[in-house]
Amino acid sequence: DTEVTQTPKHLVMGMTNKKSLKCEQHMGHRAMYWYKQKAKKPPELMFVYSYEKLSINESVPSRFSPECPNSSLLNLHLHALQPEDSALYLCASSEWGTPHGYTFGSGTRLTVV
Amino acid sequence: AQKITQTQPGMFVQEKEAVTLDCTYDTSDPSYGLFWYKQPSSGEMIFLIYQGSYDQQNATEGRYSLNFQKARKSANLVISASQLGDSAMYFCAMREAHYLNDMRFGAGTRLTVKP
C-alpha cells in the first residue's frame, strides 16, 4: 500500500461547527504532515508529527488542533473556523530522518461559510 | 532559511515538444534533497523526480529529467515529448538535512500543453 488516504474529499462547514479531517497511511512512515494550500499558491506547512509526537507547529491558530492517535493516523480537528480558512488541506507522510520525498494524499477541499 | 524560487508563473508548450521549468534554491546546508511535484486541477500532489545534493548524475524518470547545476543552485525540470495530460501546476521543493522534516515549496509554474 503506497497511498495516503484523506477523508472527506470535500467539506462545507459553518463558523460554529466542529469537524475533523482524517488522514491514513500504511507505508510504515513515521513522519506525517498537514499542509494548507490556498488557490494558486504553494502548500504551506502547518504541523509535523514524528513518531506520533508533534515536532513542528508553524504558529497555526488554535482553532486547528492536530492529533496523531497512532503511527498510521493523523487527524485535524477544526473548530470556530473563519471563511479565510477555506482551502485545500493536504496530508503527507514520509520516512523520518531521510531526504526522500513525501507521499501526499489527494486533499480535503474545505469551505467555511 | 531555505528558499526556493520559480520565476515562471505560466508556461505554454506545444504537444510533443520539450519544455524546461526553472527552479533555483538557496541553502547553506551541504545535505539536501530537491523535488518536483505535479498538481493537476484535482488537487493531489504527484511526486515526479528527486535529486540529492551529493548525487553526481542528473536524475531521470521516464519523460522527466532534472538538470541539476549545483554551483548555480538550480534544479530545472525538463519534460520531453509533452502530452496534453501534462497540463498542471508544477512545484519545486527542497528538504534540508538539518531542518528535520520540513519540505518547502516554490511558488509554482502552471504549464499548459497546446494541441
Question: What pLDDT was estimated at residue A73?
Answer: 97
Question: What pLDDT was estimated at residue B102?
Answer: 78
Establish whether the linkage from the previous residue to A8 is cis, with ω within 30° of 0. yes
Question: What pLDDT was estimated at residue B91?
Answer: 97
Cβ contact A42–B33 (<8 Å):
no
- The list of chain B residues with pLDDT below 50 reads none
**Residue with cell string 462545507:** A12
Span between the terminal Cα atoms of chain A, in Å: 36
**Chain A, nearest residue to B98 by Cα:** A97
Question: What pLDDT was estimated at residue A95?
Answer: 85
Q: Distance from A91 to chain B by nearest Cα, in Å?
A: 10
**Chain A, nearest residue to B89 by Cα:** A40
Going by their DSSP bridges, the two strands B74-79 and B64-69 should be labelled as antiparallel
* Chain B residues whose beta carbon lies within 8 Å of the beta carbon of residue A108: none
Query: For residue A53, what are the contacts with CB-CB under 8 A and spacing of at least 6?
Result: A68
**Which helix (H) or strand (E) is A88 found in, with range?**
strand A87-94
